[in-house]
Amino acid sequence: MTQTTPLNKQSGLGLIEILVAVLVLGIGILGVASTQVVSLQMNTQSQSRSQAVLLAEDILDRVRANPDTPANYALAAGSASGGTCNTSFVANGGTVAANDIAAWDNSLACLLPEAERTIAVAGNTVTVTIDWDQGDSTLPPLVVRTEI
């Protein structure tokens, strides 16, 4: 003998199952969305750090191309181009070192937000330090050091 429950006592059970399934699915979608946001933030930080490395290598290549006067490339800490990007930049006709620094400084201001830079020259050792708004104050600035 099989005992069955009348239909009027089972009403709403399927609806509760569907609501629980939708809740679980919604939590899963929120988790995927938050992972995507974190991934985009890390990708942006990675792109900025790669750009900073390329810019540091750029000025070091300029110093290597003009090895007679590496001390002329020394820069005290400060904002790149005063924080202003000039998209129509043209070198002003000064010395090679001055033109190199001006062009590099402008590139730095254009490519990295709120960039600050330092170039220290000690004998044949050149150290380039670049700091910018990385969105996380705990991240260290980029430091590249080489022998000329």
Instruction: Dig out the tokens for 72 from the structure.
Output: 């002329």
Please compute the mean of the pLDDT values over residues 14-43 and round it to a whole number.
93
- The reported pLDDT for the residue numbered 78 is 74
In the chain, what's the furthest Cα-to-Cα distance?
104
pLDDT exceeds 60 at position 7? no
Q: Report strand pairing: 125-131 vs 142-147.
A: antiparallel
- The reported pLDDT for the residue numbered 18 is 92
- The reported pLDDT for the residue numbered 53 is 95
Residues 55-102 have pLDDT tens digits of: 999 999 999 998 888 888 888 887 776 668 888 888 787 888 889 988
Which runs of E-coded beta strand occur in 5-141? 75-79, 116-122, 125-131
What is the residue extent of each domain of the chain? Answer: 12-147
- The reported pLDDT for the residue numbered 128 is 94
Q: Is pTM, for the whole model, over 0.85?
A: no
pLDDT exceeds 80 at position 10? no
